[in-house]
Amino acid sequence: MSTKPSVYKNASRKEYKLTNEQRNIYRKISQESREAKRRASLGFLSSIHSINTPRLEPNQLMPPLESNGLTTLSLFSGGGGLDLGFDKAGYTHQGAYELIPICGKTLKSNRPNWIVHSGPENGDVSKVVWQDYIIDVIHGGPPCQPFSIAGQQAGQNDDRNMWGEFIRAVNAHRPKSFVAENVLGILNPKFSGFVQKYILDKLPDYHIHIFELNAADFGVPQQRRRVFFVGFRTKAAFKCFQIPKPSHRWKKSPDDLFEDTLAKTMGVREALGLADTGYDALAPTLRSAFTGKRNTTSVLNSSAGQKAWGNLGIWPNGVQANREKASAFPAKYDHFRLSVQDCALLQGFPEYWRFAGAVYQVLGQIGNSVAPPVAYQVAKAVAFALAGKQHHL
Ligand SMILES: C[S@@+](CC[C@H](N)C(=O)[O-])C[C@H]1O[C@@H](n2cnc3c(N)ncnc32)[C@H](O)[C@@H]1O
C-alpha cells in the first residue's frame, strides 16, 4: 500500500474521475456563470436581493462547556469542524496535523493558541515520528474519497487511504479514546473486509462503536450522513458510551413519540433568513470543492441536488466570498446567490469561525468538515463515557 496522499499534494494531479454527465453539468454551469459575471461586470444587472441576516445561531446548538480536563490531538484537521466541536465540548487542544497549508491558516487564525502543524513538511501525518504526546483522545477524519460514492470506491487500493496513518498514531499514543469520522460509503458491504482487516483488527486494544449520524438530527439544516468509529481502551468506558440521540428533527411524523421533546431543525431558507415562500427544505449534502477535478465555487453534488436547490430558489454555483458580493451578483431565475458565510452556516459553523483562502478553498474546507454541532455531541458523549457516566440529552 502506498501512503502518498497525491490528490492533496499537487492540485494539478487530482485523480478524481467524473462521469460524462457530471462533466457536462459542470461545464454548462461554468459557461453560464462566466456569461452572467460578464454581464454583471458590464452593468447589465442590478442587485436583486438584500443582504440576508441568518436566523440560525449555531452557537445555540453547541453551548460551550467547562473544561473537562481531557486533551485532544487532531489529525487530518481540515478547516476544523471536529476540532471546533471538541473545543466547545470542553476539551483542551494539544495539536493539529493537516497537509493543506490554507487549512492550517484557518485553524491558526481562529485559535491562535493552538499548536498547528500544516503543509507538506510539517503537517503530513505520514512523516511524523510519534513520541511527543500523552493524550486522552485522538480524533480525525482520514480522507474519505477512497470510500465515497462520488468517487471510484477503490478503498484500500486508493493511495489517499489514510486509515493506516490514523491507526499508527492511535497505537503509538494509546489514548483513552479515539474518534474517526468517514463517509457512509465505508459501511458499504464491499468494504466490510477492509473495515475488519485494516481498521478493527489493527486496533486490538480498543473496543469500538461504529454508528451513523445525520447532521439534520442535531439542528444543522443539511442532509449529511456520516459514519463514526469511536474506540475506548477500557470495556467500562465502551459500555458507558451512548450514541448521541437526535436533539432536533426536520419533519415530525404524526406517530412521532418524541414530538414534544425534539426541537425543529430549520430549513435552509429559514436558517439563512430568506423570505418565506411557503416552501423550505434541508440543504442537500454540501460538496467539498477539494475533491473535484477542477477548482470550483459550486456546492452542487448531483443532479438531484440541483433540483433540490432549484426548489429552494437558491443558486448553488458561483458562491461568493461574502454576502455583499453575493447580493450584488444576481443569479438566474431570481434565485438567491450563496456566500461562503451562508455555506458555513448550513454546515453548522458559527459566524465567527472564519475560513482562510479563496472561495473554492473555503468550500473545500466546509464540504470536507464534520458539522461542528455533530462533533460536539460525539465529543460530549465520549467525555461522559470516560467519566463513567451515561450521556442523557
Ligand atoms: C475529511 S477532511 C477532514 C475534515 C476535518 N475532520 C473537519 O472536521 O473539518 C480530511 C483532511 O485530511 C487532510 N490530509 C490528507 N492527507 C493528509 C496527510 N497525509 N497528513 C495530514 N493531513 C492529511 C486533507 O487535506 C483534508 O483536509
Residues 224-236: pLDDT tens digits?
999 999 999 999 9
Residue 372 Cα: closest atom of ligand 1: 8
Q: Is-contact 94 253, C-beta < 8 A?
A: no
Q: How many residues appear in the chain?
A: 393
pLDDT at res. 43? 59
pLDDT in tens, 92-104: 999 999 999 999 9
pLDDT at res. 47? 55
φ/ψ of 38, rounded to 5, equals: -60, -45
Grid cell listed for 376: 460536539
pLDDT at res. 31? 73
Cα distance between residue 69 and residue 66, in whole Å: 9
pLDDT at res. 26? 67
pLDDT at res. 254? 64
The long-range contacts involving 299-308, CB below 8 angstroms and separated by at least 24 positions, are 299/338, 299/343, 299/363, 299/367, 300/25, 300/26, 300/29, 301/150, 303/21, 303/25, 306/25, 308/281, 308/283, 308/284
Residue 8 Cα: closest atom of ligand 1: 25
Grid cell listed for 341: 458565510
Task: Find the 111 Cα to ligand 1 centroid distance in Å.
Answer: 18
| The one-letter amino acid at 295 | N
59-249+371-386 is a CATH 3.90.480.10 domain:
no
Q: Which residues line ligand 1 (CB under 6 A)?
A: 5, 8, 76-82, 97-100, 103, 123-126, 141, 143-144, 162, 368-370
pLDDT at res. 296? 86
pLDDT at res. 132? 75
| The one catalytic residue among 103, 144, 240, 343 | 144
List the beta bridge partners of residue 227. Answer: 182, 212
DSSP letter for each residue of 326-384: HHTSPPGGGPEEEEHHHHHHHTT--TT-PPPS-HHHHHHHHHHSPPHHHHHHHHHHHHH
pLDDT at res. 288? 77
pLDDT at res. 6? 34
| 147 conformational bin, left if phi > 0, alpha if psi -120 to 50, beta if neither | alpha
| The one-letter amino acid at 308 | A
Residues of the chain with pLDDT under 70: 1-18, 22, 25-26, 29-30, 33-48, 144-160, 252-260, 289, 291-294, 391-393
